[in-house]
Amino acid sequence: NKPSGRYIAFEFPKTGIVRIGELGVYGTPSYSVTEQNTVPAGKTSLIAGKEYELFNHNGETLNQGTGSHNPKDFTDGNATTGGYIDYDFSKVRPCYVYDLGSVYNVEQILLISRLAAHKTAEYNIRLSYDKETLFTDSACIINYDNLKNPTQGQLFEFDADWQPAGRYLAFEIVKPC
């Protein structure tokens, strides 16, 4: 079993002189991302048919914004249904929060934009055991910049030896299309 984790610490002796020229950590992410514009076959989503709660990036409840959608359309297993929600992104970053019902190890996370012309530019995916810590820095398991290699949908697959666990999952839209 190889060590894995998100944080690393360098500990130095309490006495004596330490002269550091450089510290470095090298490796690869514990997940891969591939273009995915359809729901994976043979899989049932942990949020299938669930409605989200809507918060801003500070954990404060948001109204539904303007637009046209049924909240369950986002989790119905069909990427061609759904609607849209409009916000003034200069004032708010909406977070779609789902309660998984209990704690799960997460193997894959999928985000597909409804239209190719409206790809989500940047977003965070958050996972936590409780709502109170969902909006802390440590709960952000993925920050994805879709402007570098823009695709309509992204499927994140976590390595078997590093699958994040939690009960509350949030998709935080940092920058819209």
CA-to-CA distance for 25 and 41, rounded, in angstroms? 37
Consecutive 10-residue runs of the chain (177 residues): their mean pLDDT?
Answer: 59 62 60 79 82 80 65 73 64 83 90 71 89 90 86 85 89 80
With a CB cutoff of 8 Å and minimum separation 6, the contacts of 131 are: 59, 97, 168
Strands 165-175 and 84-86: unpaired
For residue 87, count other CB atoms closer than 10 A to its CB.
19
The burial class, CB within 10 Å (0-12 / 13-18 / 19+), for 136 is exposed
Output the CA–CA distances (angstroms, integers) from residue 114 to 58, 99, 127, 156, 168, in the order listed.
26, 23, 23, 18, 23
Distance between CA atoms of 166 and 161, rounded to whole angstroms?
Answer: 16
pTM given for the model: 0.76
Name residue, tokens 């514990």.
30
pLDDT for 42 equals 78
175 has which bridge partners? 122
The candidate with the shortest Cα–Cα distance to 119, out of 158, 88, 79, is 79
pLDDT for 1: 44
Beta-carbon count within 10 A of 89 CB: 13
